[in-house]
Amino acid sequence: MREIVFDTETTGLNPASGDRIVEIGCIEIFNRVETGRHFHSYFNPERDMPGEAEAVHGLSATFLSDKPLFADQALDLIEFIGDSPLVAHNASFDFGFLNHELGRCGHAAICLTRMRDTLALARTKHPGAKHSLDALCVRFGIDRSHRVKHGALLDAQLLAQVYVELTGGRQIGLGLVAEAVAATVAAGELVTGDAAREPLAPRPHSASGPELERHRDFLTRLTKPLWERFAALS
């Protein structure tokens, strides 16, 4: 199944009061495996950048002044997203901004039934714990050392790894990762990185002759082994 993990950076917290998206990053995953395809863009918000927002993501009004408007990139974004489910952390926030921007330039809103919220997933799986993206990266051992400030593409990449862990890890259900990758390739999807490696041959797990001999020798040196009690009762 194709899904899109995405994140946004904004000028504030409320699109209804004039706040705008200034960056979006989208990562494509197929059967929980990153394909290497992504969409990323900065946007000119056509307004000032509040200091508290700039402190979070580091994007100044000067930096954004020559970037395209959201309306200029909307069709490319819609094409990339397609009809896939969309995964975000605290997804109602990102969906609210995304649908507000789409509405401003005359495009249909994305149905909320396509929303997958990793914050809600984390609260269900780990109640009482911290559920920020940083905290979840620590929980799952995901390297975030290069995350100095918030950035939509970087955060989407980290969230994609978190989402995989929240939904069962690299092996989903009873199928093997290699089978999922093979299905991805058969479907004509792009697979890169670790997912494209050939599966390793299974390692032998049977004990060798010398190992069995050492084990028998070890058993002869045990005094009053526990299993003798049960043998006497049978």
Element of type H or E holding 104: helix 91-104
Task: Read off the DSSP letter of residue 73.
Answer: H
Residue 38 pairs in a beta bridge with: 27
Annotation says 150 is catalytic: yes
∠ CA 167-169-170, rounded to 5°: 125
SS3 state at 60:
coil
Backbone CA torsion sign across 75, 79, 83, 84: negative
Within 8 A by CB and 6+ apart from 73, the residues are: 41, 43
Given a contact cutoff of 8 angstroms between Cβ atoms, the answer to whether 11 and 47 are in contact is yes
The single residue of 131, 150, 205, 215 carrying the catalytic annotation is: 150
Given a contact cutoff of 8 angstroms between Cβ atoms, the answer to whether 33 and 11 are in contact is no
Active-site residues, by number, are 150
